[in-house]
Amino acid sequence: MAPISKECDFLVIGIGSGGLAAARRASGQWGAKTIAIESNRLGGTCVNVGCVPKKITWNAAAIAETLHEAKPYGFNIKEVAPFDYKTFKHKRDEYVKKLNDIYARNLKNDKVEYIHGRASLLSKNEVEVRLDDGGKETIRAQKILLATGGHPNIPKIEGAELGITSDGFFDLETMPKRVALVGAGYIAVEMAGMFHHLGSETHLFIRHENFLRPFDPMIQEKIITEYERQGIIIHRNSSQSKVEKGDKEGWLKFHYSDKSSPDGAVMDIDCLLWAIGRSPEVEDLGLSKIGIEQDERGHIVADDYQNTNIPNIYSLGDVCGKIELTPVAIAAGRQLANRLFGGPDHKDAKLDYTNIPSVVFAHPEVGSIGLSEPAAVEKYGKENIKTYRTDFTAMYYAMMPAEEKAPTSYKLVCLGDEEKVVGMHILGTGSAEMLQGFGVAVKMGARKRDFDACVAIHPTSAEELVTMK
């Protein structure tokens, strides 16, 4: 073992959103001597291959959607050239690189020492870092945070490596002509919408009848119907058996079965994207060496205060698998740093993991906070739950033919005689921005009558949430 080369109060392994937030708060606000280690690009999944480039691509897809919808409003837009995806992709890459540089400056400004390398635990206070130049350093820390995130899964079938994952999506230089996406979670649903609206023939393969199955049934039913209306081809009850190189350069033969072809079929595609879930980034972290507890999927087990079972070792973010959202990791990281280094006033600081809003950037957007109707019934009993729901067509679609009108659906799930809102589920244009504001109300314990007491803003879709009967 190499001699101790550095010592610190706080060592953060993994500088994604959560690790970055914890490191900066510990050093910049509380003065803890902090070292941050990252083996990839600064910012983690969100900045590099997640939220940020995804939303930029979603914006491009939404613009394409708007251009299509402009004609009923009287605009005749002549396309003089196809969408220049390559130029778009490189501009998106430049923006991400700019964020990487900003994060590096932020670490420096907050006096966090940044080391680029791969870390592995040696003991509960010591970590070995394999540096880019092949050298090694051993760091001793009073407290260690594990915030290494996760990575996409690839199935164990023949030829699976010929496909890409959500990471590889952002490396594509051109939009494929025909793409197969496998998965039923929000990543698959978001990317299916983006591929479709940017011009690819899009096939989405799901194992069951619906996708987004953790969401309220209203969301599941509405979004899958809308995707099919738009022309996305859904393959229900599907499984995949083999992938092989196709007859044409860059094409694949994709072997599968589904509800329509239970005995099997083969599809020629020029892009295959696996979106079948993610696993924690723990493979060479050395967890077993010091006995850090993991669950059956390999996630580090941490309590609501981010404590692992080993004293002075903490964990948060996707590597814990609790709620895998960037703002959750950021909030948890800041609260942990407050508790560890902020003195007596912050000795009980922790993130409240209840009523966390989440959004799916589908077409249209989906927003959700709190319990789905089935979850509320299971927790409180059917007799104690009342729901309010509205389905309508937003005024934006007033000028369009019936077959081109997208749905808008909202639901409030209320508890008891007080009708406390314990769940809110919305689908339609603008749902992401809308949910952030209404999420505050739900977090504060708003009742249905509090919603009713707010005067509506007309004409908006959001007014339907305060006028439900």
Catalytic amino acids?
Answer: 458
* Cis amide linkage into residue 364, ω under 30° from 0: yes
**Closest residue by Cα to residue 45 from 319, 247, 419:** 319
**Side-by-side strand order, sheet with 233-235:** 164-165, 271-274, 178-182, 201-205, 233-235
Neighbour count for residue 465 (Cβ, 10 Å): 23
Which residue type occupies 191? Answer: M
Q: Which residue intervals of 145-243 are DSSP H helices? A: 166-169, 186-197, 217-230
DSSP label of 382: G
Q: Which residue has the tokens 């690189």?
A: 97
Give the position of tokens 């907050």.
Answer: 110
Could you tell me the two tokens for 450? Answer: 């509090």
Sheet holding 252-257, edge to edge: 239-245, 252-257, 265-269
> Encoding tokens for residue 170?
């952002």
Task: Give the residues across from 181 on adjacent strands.
Answer: 204, 273
Q: 433: which residues sit within 8 A by CB, 6+ positions away? A: none
Q: How many CB atoms lie within 10 A of CB 13?
A: 27
- Determine which helix (DSSP H) or strand (DSSP E) holds 164, and give its type and residue range: strand 164-165
* Identity of the residue numbered 367: G
106 vs 171: CA distance, rounded Å: 27
